[in-house]
């Protein structure tokens, strides 16, 4: 699979989990968002141009801790539309996975 696919002005990122799964949900969310930012930069865009975010949590008990990191990261003037649900992730140590779509340019 690809970590990023670009079609026209649309950017589709793969679901991203933290590489370091030893941390708690805050640390994992921070790493995931940093990776998203880096991938978007490579694609020539940024988090203010995200259309949708899909947050998967392994346990909804972690939603407040995830939201705290999310709110620190997002630009409050340009937030994406986001869904957050819980389900089993690819391995038990992964606490959060985020999928985003974004646009490049106008």
Give whole-number Cα distances, 75 to 71, 92, 93, 106, in Å.
8, 31, 29, 17
Nearer to other proteins, 78 or 90 (CB): 78
Among 24, 37, 41, 81, binds other proteins (CB under 8 A): 81
- Report if residue 23 touches other proteins, rule: CB under 8 A: no
Size of the site for other proteins (CB under 8 A): 23
Report, in Å, the least distance between residue 49 CB and other proteins.
Answer: 7
How many residues are recorded in the chain? Answer: 106
Stretch that binds other proteins, among 17-25, 32-40, 68-76, 89-97 (CB under 8 A): 68-76
Residues 6+ apart with CB under 8 A from 73: 30, 33, 47
Residues 6+ apart with CB under 8 A from 11: 4, 5, 40, 43, 45, 101, 102, 103, 104
Catalog residues that contact other proteins under the rule CB under 8 A. 49, 51-53, 60, 63-64, 67, 70-71, 74, 76, 78-87, 103
């Amino acid at each position: 699979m690809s970590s990023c696919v670009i079609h026209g002005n649309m950017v589709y990122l793969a679901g991203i989990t933290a590489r370091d799964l030893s941390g708690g949900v805050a640390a994992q969310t921070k790493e995931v968002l940093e990776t998203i930012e880096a991938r978007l930069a490579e694609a020539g865009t940024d988090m203010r141009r995200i259309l949708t975010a899909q947050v998967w949590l392994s346990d909804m008990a972690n939603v407040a801790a995830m939201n705290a990191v999310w709110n620190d990261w997002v630009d409050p003037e340009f937030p994406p539309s986001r869904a957050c649900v819980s389900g089993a992730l690819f391995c038990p140590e992964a606490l959060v996975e985020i999928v985003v779509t974004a646009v490049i340019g106008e």
